[in-house]
């Protein structure tokens, strides 16, 4: 199993279908587990996907429409039943604090299940930490929906990686490699070797989650140069007027955002039931937009319980 992957729990827009559950997306990032938009049925979908509710460290709500949030009480309660090691951290638009607290009380007559509320007050960094020895950063940006909504991004900072052939050529091995990484230089014989001489830049990996929104600058910026953009594509282009009216994207618009942002992989989700069960038609429309733009972008239409490993690091 990949140590960094997206697990797709549900892909339906507004109402579930026979083949699509309400929204739910898990990002497994080394030792960190983040749950995005737990709609109804998320607790069961976690079970089917083999993801323990107790393992969820953070829950990020893009907005408080029911198909993105009504599974929150069940997930929080399940974490308590399963003796999770600590309270989950909740991120959500600050303007929706009252709605979040209603959900925290739902089904909990003895009082809300413990959770740490970290409302998104403004764009930018919301949290950071270490997982599996690597730093991660969670950022958010405001989107354009009918109610307050934000997009999220999880990334690791850019770093460096050692060039083995240079280490060998300069006679650096064993504990000396660690000392060089820590101090930035090391004396070998009668010369000082600098870290830059034996390393090359390493791009940090990144994932963005953009749910219900119209086309807006925030959607492009949160997805800038990401390895994976998980993006809503509620409508096809033939219904672009409905997308604008209800604050959503078409598959073509999702592709245009991904192209403008320079994303590597576009994963389409949040499909309207008006088009039936064939989600590949969304990918076909998005790929057509990608070709028209002359961009190098992979497009997939995800299905419930799919797993997407992050692409290999960029050279």
For residues 149 and 120, give the distance between their C-alpha atoms in angstroms, rounded to a whole number.
10
Alpha helices, DSSP H only, in the chain? 42-49, 66-69, 72-81, 97-105, 164-170, 175-183, 217-222, 240-246, 251-261, 280-293
Write out the catalytic residue numbers: 67
Nearest alpha-carbon partner for 31 in 108, 71, 111, 85: 85
> What is the Cβ-side half-sphere exposure of residue 310, based on CA atoms within 13 angstroms?
24
Burial code (b: 16+ CB inside 10 Å, e: under 16) for 296-307 equals ebebbbbbbebe
Instruction: Find residue 305's DSSP bridge partners.
Output: none
Residue 122 phi, psi dihedral angles, 5° rounding? -160, 165
Angle of helix 42-49 relative to helix 72-81, nearest 10 degrees, comes to 60
CA dist 19 to 72, 263, 303, Å? 21, 28, 9
Q: In which residue are the tokens 């007027």 written?
A: 241
């Amino acid at each position: 199993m990949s140590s960094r992957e997206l697990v797709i729990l549900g892909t339906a827009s507004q109402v579930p279908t026979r083949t699509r559950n309400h929204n739910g997306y898990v990002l497994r990032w080394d030792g960190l587990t983040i749950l995005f938009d737990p709609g109804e049925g998320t607790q069961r979908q976690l079970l089917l996907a083999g993801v323990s509710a107790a393992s969820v460290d953070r829950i990020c709500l893009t907005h408080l429409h029911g198909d993105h949030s009504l599974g929150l009480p069940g997930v929080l309660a399940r974490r308590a039943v399963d003796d999770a090691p600590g309270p989950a951290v909740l991120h959500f638009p600050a303007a929706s604090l009252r709605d979040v607290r209603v959900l925290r009380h739902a089904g909990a007559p003895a009082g809300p299940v413990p959770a740490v509320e970290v409302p998104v007050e403004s764009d930018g960094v919301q949290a950071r930490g270490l997982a599996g020895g690597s730093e991660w950063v969670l950022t958010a940006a405001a989107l354009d929906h009918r109610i307050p909504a934000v997009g999220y991004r999880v990334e690791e900072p850019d770093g460096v990686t050692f060039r083995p052939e240079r280490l060998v050529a300069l006679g650096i091995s064993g504990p000396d490699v660690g000392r060089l990484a820590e101090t930035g230089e090391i004396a070998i014989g009668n010369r000082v070797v600098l870290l830059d001489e034996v390393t090359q830049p390493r791009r940090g990996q990144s994932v963005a989650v953009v749910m219900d929104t119209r086309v807006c600058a925030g959607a492009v910026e949160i997805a800038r140069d990401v390895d994976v953009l998980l993006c809503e594509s509620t409508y096809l282009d033939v219904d672009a007027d409905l997308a604008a009216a209800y604050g959503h994207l078409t598959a073509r618009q999702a592709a245009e955002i991904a192209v403008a942002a320079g994303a590597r992989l576009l994963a389409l989700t949040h499909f309207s039931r008006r088009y039936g069960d064939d989600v590949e038609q969304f990918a076909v429309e998005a790929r057509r937009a990608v070709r028209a733009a002359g961009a190098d972008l992979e497009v997939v239409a995800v299905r419930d319980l799919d797993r997407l490993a992050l692409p290999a690091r960029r050279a």
